[in-house]
Chains A and B, each alone.
Chain A
């Protein structure tokens, strides 16, 4: 029972509309988990329940084996919400000092500056005059202010340019290496793949897959063997193998789809059909993910 986060049969509905549907998962210390899914999959609602900002309709959320709103939990978590939160009328440095004062063992202001890339200019600027990118940096610093054990980010890179995005993930990896537990939500497969050790794939309020990025990718992307062949050669022999899911011709090439591409190569050589330029490919992940997203929309 050393779970950092534990959700048991958590359900949330707003006005009879089911947004999160019977979600259960737990997180061990030091794990970096991505909650991945299209818009409307229930990611933000799930995160809000983990943070104790909204109550589940049914089920239980525990952080460090306690209720999310308890002070002992608050001391150990840090967060960056999707909606960039700033307090007008204060300069960045004043806000940092203020939030640090809430925690028993905060990180020093210098450490926060180093981690998040806030500049001297940023520190002197009033919150309401910050640009989108500066606000994100400030939010990131505020998330880390209390030196949290568990860090929760809701769509952290929305509105960041490439440089800040790279810097952000670099810092996240460093925090993970220090043994922090991290949960973040995203609708970019690439981000989940790069930064997380485990992906919870959400769709329609449910967890549809839970595994390492490799496992998830294998599930949602199709593998193909493609080759060139004389147009008059019959492919009938290949159809006899039930490992093959689909065969089609495109741009003078034959594409064979299967979960076991090694076996397909064997068949091709066994049947001596004269295949040339053989390529083994994994379908574009983003395409597959997009497909999953759009089919979900149709279902609704």
Chain B
């Protein structure tokens, strides 16, 4: 149990010391949020609704990023630098190690969500009911699961450079195509159709529905579960292939 706590603590310390994390997962989303709700005039009919909507977009964007990039790149780093091999010969079990990584990552997400929500409340005075804050936060926390699975998939790559490159591109494509930077409604028809099948759109849409006073759609939940299963199966298959050598 002590090992689990220490491991969680270590994971959290490491992430908060990571400058890329602080920049990409905290500063960037908050900056974007400020720009697209205050500097650029988006001609939204209902300013308050837009400000709440875009706060959810940016929070989801941040959490998606740290799931894919921070986790994925860190896994590759640990393996290439021989740390994983070293951990394997200590008494720490693989299960506790993995659980601690996930717990640490979730704690970081919780931290990001809280900080970005507070920023939204301070910058634009976004006001939601307590239940809406809570539910949207929870949705983003739990809904990040397929992206964590994608992160572990990226974590199987051989080189840190490839992992960083691939995860960066994936992150940006998912964010734009999923309507996190600008709503799908303003995009061309084909983009909208594709977007609706993206995990990022379904992730964001749950939170958008909540702040609109609704609840996430069933198909949002189903699509996210399907992506999780796909990414997990893929990483299991690749891992088995790598071990066979």
Q: Is the CB of B81 within 8 A of A97?
A: no
Does A52 reach chain B (CB closer than 8 Å)? yes
A14 CA to B245 CA, complexed, in Å: 8
From A51, A77, A99, residue with most partner B Cβ within 10 Å:
A99
Is A71's CB within 8 Å of the partner chain B?
yes
**In the complex, are the beta carbons of B90 and A74 less than 8 A apart?**
yes
| A132 sits at the interface (CB 8 A) | no
Would you give the 0/1 interface string for B1-23, flagging 1 where the beta carbon is closer than 8 Å to chain A?
Answer: 01101110010011101100000
Check B86 for interface membership: any CB of A closer than 8 A: yes
**CB-based contact A51/B89 at 8 Å:** yes
Cα(A83)–Cα(B77), bound, Å? 13
Other-chain contact of B14, A15, A77, A84, A88 (Cβ < 8 Å): A88
Determine whether A101 belongs to the interface, using a CB cutoff of 8 Å to chain B: yes
Q: Is the Cβ of A101 less than 8 Å from the Cβ of B3? A: yes
B82 at interface by CB-CB < 8 Å: yes
A81 interface hit (Cβ, 8 Å): yes
Known: A88-B14, A94-B13. A102 touches B89 (CB 8 A): no
- The answer to whether B10 and A94 touch across the interface, beta carbons within 8 angstroms, is yes
A85 at the interface (CB under 8 A from B): yes
Q: Across the interface, which residues of B come within 8 angstroms of A88, CB to CB?
A: 14, 77, 81
Contact check: which of A51, A75, A98, A126 meets B10 at CB < 8 Å? A98
Interchain nearest-CB distance for A216 vs B (Å): 29
Size category of the binding interface on chain B: 20 to 34
- Residue of A14, A86, A89 near B13 (CB, 8 A) is A89
User: Are B91 and A89 interface neighbours, CB within 8 A?
Assistant: no
Q: How far, in whole Å, are A71 and B96 apart by their CA atoms in the complex?
A: 13
Q: Mark A54-94, 1 if CB is under 8 A from B, else 0.
A: 00000000000000000100110101010111111110001
Q: Which residues of A contact B5 (CB under 8 A)?
A: 101
A53 touches B88 (CB 8 A): yes
B223 to chain A, nearest CB (A): 34
Report Cα–Cα, A14/B244, bound state, in Å.
Answer: 11
**B85 touches which of A83, A89, A103 (Cβ 8 Å):** A83
Q: Which residue of chain A has its CB nearest to the CB of B92?
A: A102
When the two chains form their complex, are residues A74 and B6 in contact, meaning their CB atoms are under 8 A apart? no
Contact of A142 with B by CB under 8 A? yes
Question: Binary interface profile of B, 75-101, with partner A (CB < 8 Å = 1, else 0)?
Answer: 001100111011011111100000000
Q: Is A146 an interface residue (CB 8 A)?
A: yes
Report how far A142 CA is from B83 CA in the complex, Å: 11
Q: A74-B90, A85-B85 known; A101 and B14 CB under 8 Å?
A: no
Which residues between 251 and 290 of chain A lie within 8 Å of chain B, taking CB atoms? none
Q: How far, in angstroms, from A109 to B151 measured CA to CA in the complex?
A: 34
CA distance A86 to B7 in the complex (A): 15
Q: Are B18 and A89 in contact (CB under 8 A)?
A: yes
16 contacts between A and B (CB under 8 A): A51-B89, A74-B90, A74-B91, A77-B89, A79-B89, A81-B86, A83-B82, A85-B82, A87-B14, A89-B17, A90-B14, A94-B13, A98-B7, A102-B3, A102-B90, A103-B90
Instruction: Report which A residues bind B (CB closer than 8 A).
Output: 14-15, 51-53, 71, 74-75, 77, 79, 81, 83-90, 94, 97-99, 101-104, 126, 142, 146
Known: A87-B10, A97-B6, A101-B5. 9 other contacts (CB 8 A): A15-B245, A51-B89, A74-B90, A74-B91, A81-B86, A83-B85, A89-B14, A101-B6, A102-B90
10 nearest CB pairs, A to B: A89-B14, A83-B82, A85-B82, A101-B6, A74-B91, A85-B86, A102-B92, A85-B83, A102-B90, A89-B17
